[in-house]
Amino acid sequence: MPELPEVETIKNDLCKVACGKKILRVQIYNAKVIRQMRPSDFKKLLEGKFIRSIFRRGKLLILELSSGKFLTVHFKMTGQLVLRKSRPKRPATSICRVSFALNAGLTLDFNDQRLFGELRIVGDWRELKFIQTLGPEPFDLTFSSFKDMLLKRKTEIKPLLLDQKFIAGIGNIYAAEILFRAKINPRARAQNIKAAKQRLLYQQMQKVLTSAIKHGGSSVDDYVRVSGKNGDYAQYHQVYNRQGQPCFSCKTLIKRLAQGGRGTYFCPRCQA
C-alpha cells in the first residue's frame, strides 16, 4: 500500500516519462474513483492539457497541468499508476479504472482493485482539506522540532506515527520497520520515550524512508512501479508481516498485536 517511499518512487518514475507530455484522451471505466466532479467535467479539464510538473506531499501525488489546475492522485491501499507503451483498445486489466492516453503512443492506467483511490482536479492543491491538516514531511523536520512534537503527545507511538496530522507519509509498514530499528516498543507513550531513543527514532525514520526510496519502495500486496515492476525494499523488512517467525537479530518470535484496529508487528525482545 503506497506510503511515502512508494509515492515518491511513482513520482520519480513518472517524471521521467510523463512530464511535458500532453493528455490526449481520458477513458473512464469506473467513475467511483473520480471525486467531487462529474466524469464529463473530469475529462474536459484534462484532455488537451500538458503535464507541467509532478510532485508529492505526504502520500498524495500531484500533477501540475498547463491549465494551472492540478490533478491529485491518492492511491489509498490498492491504487497503481502503470505506463504502457502502446495504445490498446481495451484496458490491460479488469481493475483499470481510468486510462490516460498521452502523446508518443503512451497510455497511463490508474488501476485500483478496491476503489478506495481518489482522483481530483483542483485549482489549488494547497486548499484541499487533507493537505491543510497534514503534518510536516519527515525530511523537512529537524530533530529539535520532532522531539518537541513527541513530548506534547501522551498517545502510543505506533498509532501516532500513522497519524498523518502528526507526520505525513508514514503508513503501517514503515511505522513497524522504523520502530524495530529504533528499538522502541510500539506501545510506548510518545511522551515517555527517552532522549537517546528519541534521537534514534528520528535517525531511523530518515534512514528507513531514504533507503526504501532508493530501492523503489516495498511491493507487498498491490504496489508496483510505473513500469509494472516490483519495488525491492520488501526484502529488507525486519518485522512487517513476520508474526511467528524468528527475529533476524535475536531469534525471538515476532509478535503481532492490534493497535487502533491495525496490525502492529514487533520483536518483543529487541523492542522490550
Partner DNA sequence: AATGGGACCTGCGCGC
Partner DNA sequence: TGCGCGCAGGTCCCAT
Q: Are 178 and 138 in contact (CB under 8 A)?
A: no
Mapped onto helix, strand or coil, the DSSP state of residue 196 is helix
Least distance CB 261 / DNA (angstroms): 6
Checking phi first, is residue 151 left (phi over 0); if not, alpha (psi -120 to 50) or beta? alpha
Q: Is 3 a catalytic residue?
A: yes
Task: Pick between residue 12 and residue 30 the one whose CB is nearest to DNA.
Answer: 30
Q: Is 262 a catalytic residue?
A: yes
Task: Pick between residue 46 and residue 60 the one whose CB is nearest to DNA.
Answer: 60
Which of the residues 44, 197, 262, 269 is marked catalytic? 262
Residue 38 grid coordinates: 462529474
Least distance CB 173 / DNA (angstroms): 7
Least distance CB 6 / DNA (angstroms): 9
Task: Pick between residue 106 and residue 131 the one whose CB is nearest to DNA.
Answer: 131
Mapped onto helix, strand or coil, the DSSP state of residue 111 is strand
DSSP one-letter code for 101? E
Which of the residues 49, 56, 59, 255 is marked catalytic? 59
**Which residue from 5, 2, 14 is spatially nearest to 227, judged by alpha carbons?**
14
Q: Are 163 and 243 in contact (CB under 8 A)?
A: no
Q: How many CB atoms lie within 10 A of CB 225?
A: 22
Task: Pick between residue 23 and residue 118 the one whose CB is nearest to DNA.
Answer: 118
Least distance CB 53 / DNA (angstroms): 21
Q: How many CB atoms lie within 10 A of CB 5?
A: 27
Task: Pick between residue 113 and residue 210 the one whose CB is nearest to DNA.
Answer: 113
Residues at the site binding DNA, with contacts judged by CB under 7 A:
1, 3, 32, 58-60, 74, 76-78, 113-116, 129-130, 133, 153-156, 159, 162, 164, 171-173, 256, 258, 260-263
Angle, CA 195 vertex, CA 170 and CA 240 arms, to 5°: 30
Least distance CB 174 / DNA (angstroms): 8
* Residues taking part in catalysis: 2-3, 59, 262
